Amino acid sequence: MISVYDELKQSLDGNVYKEYPIKDSTYFKIGGVVDIFVEPKNEEDLAQTLSIIGDRIPFYIIGNGTNLLFSDRGYRGAIIKIGCCFNGISIEGKKIRVGAGTLLSSTAKVAADNSLKGMEFASGIPGYVGGAVAMNAGAYGGEMVNILKTARCMDYNGKLYNFTSEEMEFEYRNSRVFKNSLIILSAELELEEGNKKEIYDRINHLAERRRTNQPLDKPSAGSTFKRPSEGFAAKLIEDSGLKGLRYRGAMVSDKHSGFVINDNNAKADDVLSLMRIVRETVFQKFGITLEPEVKIIGEEF
């Protein structure tokens, strides 16, 4: 019987790789080899990919790999990347139509260039639009729920949907994408008219705050833990005396304790061990259980 890899290779226009080092596609620069790595070229390619894989092997959808931690043992199945083949930006009035594989930073710049405000918060987030919509990404008081008008999605059977912002069922770092196994294909954002100089002043101000306060020079997955119902993860970690704590190659950043960073060729096991130490210590001191914001693939936490 023809293998899934061979069938994908023969049927798709996009890229299909066997035994792919997943660390090359994540910001953490951590992870082992995945069996199959697929980059569909378009929506038809994606639907064909899902049809071929079906229930034959496990699969996982990724974007720019900014909030992922893959196991050192890799992934036994297929990773499907919604990447640069799904990019593109167009503007009509105050609305921006953007592909899921477009960088948030690029989208925010296009908005600023067209004197549209409301997306400044996303100008320094390194992910793609698709992932940002899926997890309701946010920073500095802004979230995707505030600017999304509609999202075009595909389910794992290849069926297409268009959802309004209300129908996306947004929550903190969550949406119906994860609840209903959907894939973001594109989004329509609605912004406000503004002053270009003021918009860029805000973008530059936030960029300076990031450079000053975040460990941008080290691989990481951004904020490691979600904001708890009481307090802030970074402050709880720092107040527990854990800022700068190391475990082998992983480290609680000494610049921002909300980040666990790959400081010296860390393994996934190093990061997970350090995360467990952080969570246990914070719980013992404050009685608060921190939940991961980073998506952990192939390991239990």
Residue 223 is among the residues annotated as catalytic for this protein: yes
pLDDT digits (tens, 9 = 90+) for 225-243: 999 998 999 999 999 999 9
CB of 55 closer than 8 Å to CB of 67: no
43, 61, 81 — which closes off a domain? 81
Q: Which amino acid is at 214?
A: Q
Q: Is residue 183 part of a domain?
A: yes
Position of tokens 């050192």?
Answer: 72
DSSP string for 206-229: HHHHHHHHS-TTS-B-S-SBPPPS
What pLDDT was estimated at residue 58? 96
Q: Which residue has the tokens 């705050």?
A: 209
> 143 has which bridge partners?
138
Give CA–CA dist 78/81, Å, rounded: 10
Q: Choose the catalytic residue: 7, 143, 188, 293.
A: 293
Q: Is 112 helix (H, G, I), strand (E, B) or coil?
A: helix
Of residues 175, 186, 220, 223, which has the active-site annotation? 223
Domain range for 282 is 233-297
- Catalytic residue selected from 152, 173, 176, 279: 173
> Which tokens is 8 given?
């994908």
Q: Give the whole-angstrom CA distance, residue 57 versus residue 103.
A: 29
In this structure, the answer to whether residues 93 and 76 fall within a common structural domain is no
Helix (H, G, I), strand (E, B) or coil at 262: strand
Please report the pLDDT score of residue 166 as a whole number.
97
Specify whether 178 is located in the same domain as 249.
Answer: no
Asked if 17 and 94 sit in the same domain, the reply is no
Q: What is the CATH number of the domain that holds 152?
A: 3.30.465.10
Half-sphere exposure of 55 (CA within 13 A, CB side): 0
Domain count, the chain: 3
The confidence score (pLDDT) of residue 298 equals 87
- 43 and 57 assigned to the same domain: yes
H or E stretch at 235: helix 233-239
**173 noted as active-site residue:** yes
Handedness of CA 81, 84, 90, 91 (dihedral sign): positive
State the CB neighbour count (10 A cutoff) for residue 109: 16
Judge whether 293 counts as a catalytic residue. yes
Main-chain dihedrals φ then ψ at residue 93, nearest 5 degrees: 65, -120
Q: Please indicate, yes or no, whether residues 93 and 191 belong to a single structural domain of this protein.
A: yes
Span 167-224, pLDDT tens digits: 999 999 999 999 999 999 999 999 999 999 999 999 999 999 999 999 999 999 999 9
Residue 218 maps to a domain: no
Judgement on whether residues 137 and 237 belong to the same structural domain of the protein: no
- Quote helix, strand, coil % in the chain, to nearest 5: 35, 30, 40
| pLDDT less than 70: residues of the chain | 1, 301
Q: What's the CA gap between 185 and 178, in Å, rounded?
A: 14
Whether 240 is covered by a domain: the verdict is yes
Which one of 23, 54, 81 terminates a domain? 81
Residue 279 has what pLDDT?
98
pTM (predicted TM-score): 0.95
